[in-house]
Structure 1
Amino acid sequence: MYKNPDILWLSTNPYLMRFNLPVIKYLSQYVSIGQWEYQLTEDETTSLDLAIEFLNNYLEMVKKPVHLVGHSTCGLLGLQYANKYPEKVKSLTLLGVGINPALDWVSYYYLLRNHFKCNQEAILTHLAKYLFGYRNFYYQKSLVKILKKALIYSLSPHSLYRKCDYFSVEKTAYPLMVSGSNDDQVVFWSEIEKWKSYLKPEDYIWQCPNGEHFFHYFQAKLLGNQILSFWSSLEHSVNHKLAMKNY
């Protein structure tokens, strides 16, 4: 990780980090990007507030505003942090985060568990199809193992005993990019589109043509170019305002 990155990719689950790597690798060719990691222990209580505190401690050391990027639950974390500390955020990019940021793949898992009366293995097999689109038996078997472990370390506000129904959103004080996949079966594009009511002129919404819920893994270059374009437009806007001010 860069010690003083301009961009910070949020990662809160050791078993899902691998799906961030293709787009991080692509972006690193053009920008200084770091990956901030937060890992729960099996006995630790899930707490977004604690994660926000640790993230703030890190950004205190960076000593400059950064571009934050987060997928799913990590996007929720980024949104909560940016709303609390807007002065420390140059922009926020949300991937697979709908107008209700509380809805993530974990909430979908518990929805399936409540709806279908079958064992965890069957539920996770079903979930893997919706998250990744794979129909291959061997891929699915591997993904089920990953998801089973990822559930234990998830920072999601949902659990078997508790469901968080809603996190309210409002117009942000920082530039915002929101992106989702056309074929995401967990966070439908219609939920992403609802962000339009909250977007400012400098904000950006983009639909990835395919890639399911983990589209940032399957469409790393395509998404990476869109994110780079978003950041570039912000820099151009800042330079234009400075030029007009000095005119």
Structure 2
Amino acid sequence: MSVQPDVLWINVSPSFQRFDRFLIRYLSHQVSIAQWEYLQNPDEPSSLDIALVLLHDYLKSCRQPIHLIGHSTGGLLGLLYARQHPERVKSLTLLAVGVHPAIDWQAHYYAMYQLLPCSRRMILAKMVQNLFGSQEKNSTRALIQLLEQDLNSSPSPHSLYRKASMPSGGVSVPLMVCGSQDDLIVDPMALQGWKAWMKEGDLIWECPEGHHFFHYYHPQLVGRQILQFWHQAGKSLTNHQLA
């Protein structure tokens, strides 16, 4: 009989997996963590509906509720799932997901594409700077390729012709929202907007720096905060059960 993991990391952006590895490795020293990955078929419409069904198929096999964690669109998928099936979720940790949860880097990219008289490559180069900070030429070129891949493979709900929105709101399970003070995609105002939807025990935490992928640059700092939250969430659930 396979052992159920304590934590499930949700990834729907294969191009960005490398930015999750350091934090996953750090967390894995303290908890059992599994990765759930979704790769959108190029022939499929850009939608999170199929991913939600597949995620539910996996979590139905888990005997007990599990901690969910995800960055950006992966976090958005976790949020949608926790709203639909809170009985299967022990807690939800969101990285770089603002109070308007559908807003991701692609939403910013398409807005810039419509407004600025620049080539696609120039706009992607600007997005690299917004997402990662200043980079040397070779790094910028490599990161542009990653962004192009994500535009083609991520189920982000946005396109050149449609900017999607999803309702703000929290979840009934314990919630932690993490961001960076210098993130231009999910800025501190978008992060602090979660306060209106938080209940007792929920938490907002800001990394001092690291831009949109702060968990890549500071995995130990971020990881310590998340582990502490999971510990407190576990105690709260136990106390609730005893009551």
TM over 0.5, shorter chain: yes
What residue number does 2:210 align with?
A: 211
Structure 1 unaligned segments of length 5 or more: list them.
none
Q: Cα distance, 1:161 vs. partner? A: 1.9
Q: Cα distance, 1:241 vs. partner? A: 4.5
The aligned runs of 1:56-71 (5 Å cut-off) are 56-71=56-71
Q: Deviations over 1:93-130 (max 9, x none)?
A: 11111110010011011011011111111111000011
How many Å separate the matches in 2 of 1:138 and 1:6?
Answer: 39
Aligned partner of residue 163 in structure 1, secondary structure = coil
What residue number does 1:19 align with?
A: 19
Structure 1: which amino acid aligns with 2:95?
L
How many Å separate the matches in 2 of 1:213 and 1:75?
Answer: 13
Aligned partner of residue 61 in structure 2, secondary structure = helix
What residue number does 1:7 align with?
A: 7
CA contact (8 A) 1:94 1:178 kept: yes
Quickly say closer, same or farther: Cα 1:87–1:155, change in 2 above 3 A.
same
Structure 2: which amino acid aligns with 1:158?
H
Structure 2: which amino acid aligns with 1:23?
L
How many Å separate the matches in 1 of 2:25 and 2:125?
Answer: 29
Structure 2: which amino acid aligns with 1:90?
K
What residue number does 2:49 align with?
A: 49
Residues 1:103 and 2:103 aligned together: yes
Q: Cα distance, 1:238 vs. partner? A: 3.3
CA contact (8 A) 1:177 1:203 kept: yes
The aligned runs of 1:61-140 (5 Å cut-off) are 61-140=61-140
CA contact (8 A) 2:79 2:171 kept: no
Residue correspondences, number:
242
How many Å separate the matches in 1 of 2:14 and 2:69?
Answer: 17
Quickly say closer, same or farther: Cα 1:239–1:135, change in 2 above 3 A.
same
The aligned runs of 1:23-38 (5 Å cut-off) are 23-38=23-38
What residue number does 2:145 align with?
A: 145
Structure 2: which amino acid aligns with 1:108?
H
Q: Cα distance, 1:74 vs. partner? A: 1.0
How many Å separate the matches in 2 of 1:239 and 1:6?
Answer: 15
How many Å separate the matches in 2 of 1:58 and 1:12?
Answer: 15
How many Å separate the matches in 2 of 1:187 and 1:116?
Answer: 21
CA contact (8 A) 1:12 1:155 kept: yes
How many Å separate the matches in 2 of 1:92 and 1:135?
Answer: 32
Q: Cα distance, 1:24 vs. partner? A: 0.3
How many Å separate the matches in 2 of 1:232 and 1:115?
Answer: 46
Residues 1:227 and 2:239 aligned together: no
Q: Cα distance, 1:242 vs. partner? A: 5.3
Quickly say closer, same or farther: Cα 1:162–1:3, change in 2 above 3 A.
farther
Identity, in percent, stands at 44
What residue number does 1:173 align with?
A: 172
TM-score using structure 1 length: 0.94
Question: Please, what is the CA RMSD of the aligned residues?
Answer: 1.4
Q: Which one is further off, 212-221 or 167-176? A: 167-176
CA contact (8 A) 2:99 2:169 kept: no
